[in-house]
Amino acid sequence: MFRDNPLLSQLKQNMRQNTPSVEGTVKGTERGFGFLEADDGESYFIAPPHMKKIMHGDRIKAYIETNGDKTSAEPDTLVEAKLTRFIARISMTKNKLTVLADSPVINMPIRAKLVGLGKQKVNDGDWVVAQLKSHALKDGSFAAEVTGFVATATDPNAPWWVTLARQDLAKDVPAMPDSVEFKDDTTRIDLTDKPFFTIDSASTQDMDDALLVENTAEGNLKVTVAIADPTSYIPADSELNKIAAERAFTVYLPGRNIPMMPRELSDSVCSLVAGEKRPTLCCTYTINEDGALAEEFEFFTAWITSQHKLSYTQVSNWIEEVSTEWQPEAQLAEQLQSLATFARHRQQWRKNNAIVFPDQPDYSFELDDSGNVLAIHVEHRRIANQMIEETMVAANITAARLFRQNGDVGVFNTHAGFDPEKIDLVVELLTEHGIECTKEHIQSLPGYVELQRTLAEKANPALDSRLRRMQSYSIISASAERHFAMGLDGYATWTSPIRKYGDIINHRLIKATLTNGSAPSATEDEVILMSERRRQHRMAERDISSWLYVDYLTPAVESKQAFEASIMDVNRGGLRVRLLENGAVAFVPASLLHDNKKEVKCLVETGQISIKDQVEYSLGDVIYVNIAEINKEKRNIVAKPVEKIAS
């Protein structure tokens, strides 16, 4: 009887006018309630009945209700829905089609209908792509359309297909055209008699860089970097180029990769296979005894024949004298020793004059034919990795110099340092930690580099973590900009054209300088797509790793195996740790740190957790944990300390 009552509506409107409202982002939880993280920095509780009208990540306007000393948010208006295109599983409820979003914090079934699947049938548990078409806060109820099929419920490849579909990445390998013609308008030097060699992982097939190392009479080191030349087979106006531009990168995931170009090109025709003559784009540069990169350099095209396919492991074992199982011939041994010396000198120069990222181990999954994890191997960065890294970094610095000499046109990796909108907070935080600086100084490249050295000396993980949140994002740019995170005036990659479309563009631009010709530069849309694809690839690698870790660590719940773990984040619910043995990330809720949750304080700002006002856990600490719980559906790993702090 009160429905559509104008007096009641007027009363509600009058009450709303006297109730404060805020905008913010919804944070859901697995327990039905949520929080509104308001734009003003406050956090407001959202009761379960209200959460049924909204979803995690939604931006909403809400009214703030006060009851005694407690406040809560009542959703009023949808500003922007977080869920639009999403991955879901089919759920048949009372013969009605619903979908369950593949999300750790969105648990409600959403009614759905099939659109555009043709004759494709779907069954309970199948993986699909869906589009949200109506929102409960705006339209009264949630509804979705199923627009794509991903995998059956029992498909052993589902983790990979779901991960790729979630990021909207292609899962197929590009088809090779009936014929590919070699075209070249440069004058190629014949270097097929020179002893070039490659160093890659033992399983690598798409080898795109080979090296030649020579000592000069002045005591310096001359390095020739020869890079595979796919642009001689892929014209800028070809269909293959369109495919490479759309994909932007080769996708590397545990257990498989999806190439940017047909495998016949990436793994054979263009790959610098030992003993095979290949066209290359080359750069020769010189490194002085102190590790400085000389100003003189030369780019040219050449034919080479790599004489050796080497692996990181065999080269590192030999140089580090770990094993004598493999021994290089005399000429190769001299090159490798010279390159190792170069890498050490060059890395020291960059530590003194630029910025070198701290070494972090890589973790590789060993899988069986069905995609099950047999083992996870820790791969520390060794001397051979440093040798290749330093030669490629120097080559990319050299390309940036070339582009600066030719109108600043190219594809550049850039980083602007601290976010300008947060620079005042940065200065305030540094001052609190005894680091006096001005915002003008740390916004300059020399000042930023100096600050990073100071921070490295302080070795304060909590401070480093807080400052990372105030950094700008690294982006790909079509104009020459500095790379603050590397401490470099410019950085333009061209050494992986088999795997990166930006490097293909740079190859064409470099070749244009050799022939006094022209080549298309990157458009704004292209660099935006490259940045987005790079983000999607990182997310895909993270997602598939999480899936594999959950399966691999499930037996550890029963065995109660203890893992050494590093604290990598502190939030208001607890802390996140990385298991050092295998790289898995787990969450340790505050409730598992101490029996009395009221005595636990999560000090997010300082990266610490105190118990009974005594700091017990800090960012960077190494602790021992057990796996307490694994949720395979949500792909969550919950850990607990081996020894809980006593009450």
CA atoms within 13 A on the CB side of 218: 9
Cα 507 from Cα 209, distance rounded (Å):
13
178 contact partners, CB below 8 Å, separation of at least 6: none
Q: Taking a C-beta distance cutoff of 8 angstroms, is the pair 445, 487 a contact?
A: yes
Paired tokens of 133? 């078409």
73 contact partners, CB below 8 Å, separation of at least 6: 22, 24, 36, 44, 45, 46, 50, 62, 63, 64, 65
**Which one from 206, 229, 503, 543 is the annotated catalytic residue?**
206
**Nearest to 285, CA basis, from 199, 393, 187:** 393
Where would I find the H helices in 251-382? 263-264, 312-319, 330-353
Cα 29 from Cα 31, distance rounded (Å):
5
Q: Give the three-class secondary structure for 338.
A: helix
**Nearest to 333, CA basis, from 354, 76, 525, 341:** 341
**Nearest to 483, CA basis, from 402, 406, 422, 393:** 393
Annotation marks residue 208 as catalytic = yes
Where would I find the H helices in 110-189? 136-139, 158-166
Annotation marks residue 312 as catalytic = yes
Cα 633 from Cα 630, distance rounded (Å):
9
Annotation marks residue 200 as catalytic = yes
Cα 172 from Cα 263, distance rounded (Å):
11
**Nearest to 298, CA basis, from 405, 197, 388, 185:** 405
* DSSP β-ladder status, 143-151 and 109-114: parallel
Scan for tokens 């990182």, then name that residue. Answer: 538
SS3 percent helix, strand, coil of the chain, rounded to 5, is 30, 35, 35
**Which one from 312, 363, 549, 617 is the annotated catalytic residue?**
312
Q: Taking a C-beta distance cutoff of 8 angstroms, is the pair 376, 552 a contact?
A: yes
Active site residues: 200, 206, 208-209, 312, 499
